[in-house]
C-alpha cells in the first residue's frame, strides 16, 4: 500500500521535479503540499504548487501556506538575484505555466501537519525539500508531534562534503539553522537526511530533458524550466552537461529507501559564527547515540536516474492525455 505523503516545498526547479516524482511514484500517495520560503518567497512557492499540481493533472492535491521567513526574522523573505540565476525569479526558470483557479487552504502548514500526523501516524511520510521552518513551527506549537510520523525525509545538510552557500552550510539548512536545530537535534523524529553527500552524485543531462519536448506542450514547458537550471550548472561547473538532483532524490528515497546507504549519526547544527548552518556528526555520541539520524552517504545513481526520468516522462504523458 502506498505511503501517505506530505511534501514541504520551496518550489524552485528541482522542487518541480520532486513534485513530479512524488505524484508518479506508486509508493507514495500525496495528500498535500505545504509551502515555505527558500528558492522563492513563500507566496510564489504557494502559487507554483497550485499551478503545477493543476498542470500535471492532480488538482485534488491541496496546498497549505507555510512560513514566510525564518525563525529569527520578522521580515518576509525575498529571494536575492543570485537565486534568480538558479531558479528564475518565478522559481520555474522564467517559464510561464497556466494559472490554476484554485487557492490555498485556510489551514496553516503546521496545523495541517499536526492533523495529518494525528490521522495517519506511522503511515505518514513527510518529505521536506526547503528550509525546515514549517517543521520547527510544528514542534513549537505541538511539542513531540513530529516524532509520531512514520518517517521524515529531509533534503538538506552536508555532512561529508562542503556546503553550497558557504564552505560549511547547505542552502536549506543555511536559510534557517535554528529551525534545523529544532528538527534535527530536538524533535526525536525518525529522520532520513538526504544531503549534498548524495545529491551531488546524481545528475540529469540536457539530452534526456530535451526528450520531454516530444511529449507535447507540457513537456516543452518543463524542458525549458529544467534547461534554465542546467544553464546555471554549466556556468558554475563548465562541462558538467546537466544538473544535480537534490530534491527529487529525497522524494525517491522516501519512497524507495534502498536507493541509498545510510549511516546512523547524531547530527548537530551550528547556529553561530562562520560555521552557521553546518550539519555535522556529534563526536561525543558516535558510539552510543540514542536518537541517530539516518544520513545518506552512498546512492545507486544509475537506478535513481533511470527511475526519475521514466517517472517524469510518464507523468508528462498522463498530463498531456487529460
CB 170 within 8 A of CB 158: yes
The angle at the Cα of 205, spanning 78 to 18, to the nearest 5 degrees, equals 50
Three-state DSSP state, 22: helix
133: Cβ contacts below 8 Å, ≥ 6 apart = 36, 37, 66, 67, 69, 70, 71, 176, 179
Distance of alpha carbon 113 from alpha carbon 135, whole angstroms: 8
Residue ranges of the alpha helices (H) in 102-216?
109-120, 133-141, 171-175, 177-181, 196-199, 206-211
Active-site residue among 246, 247, 270, 311? Answer: 246
Active site residue 311: no
Place of cell 506511522: 122
Which residue of the set 8, 10, 15, 51 is catalytic?
10
10 is catalytic: yes
> What residues does 33 pair with on adjacent strands?
7, 63
Strand (E) or helix (H) holding 320 = helix 301-321
User: Annotated active-site positions, please?
Assistant: 10, 246
Amino acid at each position: 500500500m502506498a505511503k501517505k505523503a506530505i511534501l514541504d516545498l520551496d518550489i524552485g526547479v528541482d522542487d518541480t521535479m520532486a513534485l513530479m516524482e512524488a505524484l508518479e511514484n506508486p509508493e507514495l500517495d500525496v495528500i498535500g503540499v505545504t509551502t515555505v520560503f527558500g528558492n522563492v518567497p513563500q507566496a510564489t512557492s504557494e502559487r507554483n504548487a497550485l499551478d503545477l499540481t493543476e498542470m500535471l493533472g492532480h488538482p485534488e492535491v491541496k496546498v497549505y501556506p507555510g512560513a514566510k521567513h525564518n525563525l529569527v526574522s520578522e521580515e518576509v523573505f525575498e529571494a536575492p538575484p543570485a537565486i534568480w540565476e538558479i531558479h528564475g525569479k518565478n522559481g520555474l526558470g522564467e517559464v510561464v505555466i497556466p494559472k490554476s483557479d484554485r487557492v490555498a487552504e485556510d489551514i496553516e502548514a503546521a496545523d495541517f501537519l499536526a492533523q495529518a500526523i494525528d490521522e495517519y501516524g506511522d503511515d505518514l511520510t513527510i518529505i521536506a525539500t526547503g528550509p525546515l521552518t514549517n517543521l520547527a513551527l510544528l514542534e513549537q506549537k505541538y511539542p513531540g508531534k513530529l516524532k509520531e510520523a512514520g518517517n521524515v525525509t529531509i533534503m538538506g545538510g552536508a555532512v561529508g562534503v562542503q556546503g553550497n552557500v558557504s564552505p560549511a552550510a547547505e542552502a536549506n539548512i543555511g536559510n534557517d539553522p535554528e529551525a534545523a536545530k529544532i528538527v534535527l537535534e530536538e524533535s526525536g523524529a525518525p529522520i532520513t537526511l538526504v544531503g549534498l553527500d548524495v545529491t551531488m552524485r546524481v545528475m540529469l543531462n540536457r539530452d534526456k530533458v530535451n526528450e520531454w519536448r516530444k511529449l507535447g506542450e507540457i513537456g516543452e514547458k518543463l524542458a525549458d524550466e529544467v534547461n534554465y537550471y542546467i544553464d546555471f550548472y554549466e556556468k558554475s561547473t563548465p562541462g558538467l552537461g546537466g544538473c544535480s538532483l537534490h530534491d527529487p532524490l529525497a522524494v525517491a528515497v522516501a519512497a524507495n529507501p534502498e536507493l541509498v546507504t545510510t549511516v546512523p549519526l547524531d547530527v548537530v547544527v551550528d547556529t553561530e559564527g562562520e560555521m552557521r548552518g553546518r550539519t555535522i556528526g556529534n563526536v561525543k555520541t558516535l558510539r552510543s547515540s540514542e536518537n541517530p539520524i539516518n544520513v545518506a552517504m552512498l546512492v545507486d545513481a544509475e537506478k535513481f536516474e533511470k527511475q526519475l526520468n521514466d517517472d517524469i516522462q510518464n507523468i508528462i504523458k498522463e498530463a498531456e492525455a487529460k
